Chain A
Amino acid sequence: MWNATAALLGLLTLAALPARAALQVNVTQGVTDPVPIAIVPFGRAVPADGGFDVAAVVQHDLESSGRFRAMQRAVMLSTPTSVAQVQAADWKAAGNDYVLIGRVSAPNANELDVDCDLINTLTGQRLGGKRFTATSASLRNAAHQVSDYVYEQILGVRGAFATRIAYVSVQGEAPNQHFQLIVADCDGESPRVILESTQPIMSPTWSADAQWLAYVSFENRLSAIYVQRVRTGERRQVSAYAGVNGAPAFSPDGTRLALTLSDPGGNLDLWLLNLATSALTRLTNDPAVDTEPAWSPDGQSIYFTSDRAGGPQIYRLEVANPKRIQRITFGSGYNARPRVSPDGMKIAFVSREGSNFRIGVQDLASGTVSVLTHGSLDESPSFAPNGATIIYSGRDGPIGTLQTVSVDGLVTQRLTSSQGELREPVWEPFAR
């Protein structure tokens, strides 16, 4: 993306494992008609698979989506691992529309193959199947890929179970707090600390190729923006101007960063930073606060927050002609921090309802707004790469937690941490 030799090594990286965030599935309403499916324990490759239970992960994934209801293992009459062994009528009689079977095998010392077959119980037909290649260390990811495959085969929407999230974890009481930037699987497993500091870390954001994170760190007491390669931890400071350096957002092609800078009088405007040349181009020039830029997927527009009309509202500018600015949100007196859905058709944002801050979604074509959440301080929405779910941070009593809600508002989940507060989740895009 740019000259990596200029990158600094993140000095605070990979220090300690964080307290694990545990997923608590909490389907508040659920869809009225979840798909009944039997996920049969997969054939094992003893001892190469290390005893890992692929089917259990797949079952957890699919159930947590709220779109599936899985048969209990205890009442399964048989545990077929090949299509020939499946008595479709029996599974149908037990109330299942589909049966998923599979096998883990070890073709050689360093490789594991995970094969799965999906069977329609009404017709007895094999709908399809797929092989995923893994190592003993990546079996969990292979299981998530099986979940993605089943989800797409049955619902027609690409699954996002094999993606990751980044978020900020904060421990300790103010004013002595400890900040960590963490990357984990989207179910909270395998968390890895990629930066920690005694000063605030905020506004993490992924590049479209999912290789880089940009974020704001106050580690030198003043704000600065860094970009960091997630896999290696190498990083460099890209913006440390006097005043505010905030709200970074990678352009879809990865060449530029939209960001917020302040002038000497403290006024915040939007700028574009060319990551190869460090050249800055001004986007807005208004005495109001302009901040929180979010690119449309085609890279032609930027949605942002501005209080040019009094309270904060969301506006859209054209990157090629940034003087063309259109107001997008009305209604609530406080609409801020937009994020654009992967298909470019919707924005999610923070909206005030009375004294509560909640996550709203606006359909851009019709202007229709739905408020999806019910908390008092919900913030930082981020779309899953398949557009089906939004992750955000909310409060559970005094504790900040990560929560998800399906874009139809029907299915919610919660990620809690054994200690500290979790905030600013950002969902990794597809493209790894």
Chain B
Amino acid sequence: MHKTVILWVAVIGASLLAGCSSHKPRNAAGAGTASSVPGDQSQAKGADMSSADSAAAASGAGVAGPSSPQLQNRSIYFDFDSSDIKSDYEALIAAHARYLASSPSTRVRLEGNTDERGSREYNIGLGERRAQAVRRALMLQGVADSQITTVSYGEERPAVTGHTEEAWSRNRRVDIVYLN
């Protein structure tokens, strides 16, 4: 109940922002300087929404943009040592693909992650495989290659701290990050 109210306040706020401000790229940090605080989800997502909405408005596609409730889920979770996309996430990916295909100027970064087990650079390889699996799924549904960049953080940027299967399962993921 509360969550729904807060979400809609956020959506309205974001639309207002989109209507009246020119958006500044989120990652404006210069080379070598400390970049923005990682995982500051509330701020980052607010900014993403505003710009993506303006892109949607410009394209006139009429498909719900990233601020819409059905695009709030942006993490795809994986089984241990696997980069297979589970059927639970097909709808999530399809929803993002519909929007991205309708808004060719919108770009996303797919961030692949693993749990903490195993060697770090090999996990970079596994995270990249996961990001690529999501990239291929998006492209099969009409998203252009030029709209997608991938990065693998391996086990270096866990979503949660912890050394249990529960923590690990939340860290084996690909995050979809809207860039504009």
Contact = CB atoms under 8 A, between A and B. Distances in A.
Per DSSP, are chain B's interface residues mostly helix, strand or loop, or mixed?
A: loop
A175 B125 CA distance: 21
B161 A174 contact: yes
Contacts of B32: 8, 10-12, 219
B69 to A, nearest CB: 23
A305 B149 contact: no
A200 to B, nearest CB: 4
Interface string A167-181: 000000111110000
A74 B167 CA distance: 51
A218 interface: yes
Interface residues of B, number: 43
Nearest to A338: B119
B122 to A, nearest CB: 5
Interface string A327-345: 0000000101100000000
B150 A243 contact: yes
Q: Determine the interface band of chain A, counting residues with CB < 8 A from chain B.
A: 35 or more
B106 interface: no
Contact of A398 (B125, B126, B158, B163): B163
B39 interface: yes
B159 interface: yes
Nearest to A179: B156
B128 A244 contact: yes
Interface in A1-51: 8, 10-12
Contact of B39 (A8, A175, A202, A377): A175
B122 A336 contact: yes
21 contacts: A10-B32, A11-B33, A12-B32, A12-B34, A174-B39, A174-B159, A176-B37, A198-B35, A198-B36, A202-B156, A218-B151, A218-B153, A220-B27, A260-B121, A260-B125, A291-B122, A312-B118, A337-B120, A357-B117, A379-B119, A380-B119
Interface of B: 27, 29, 31-41, 109, 116-122, 124-126, 128-129, 131-132, 135, 149-154, 156-163
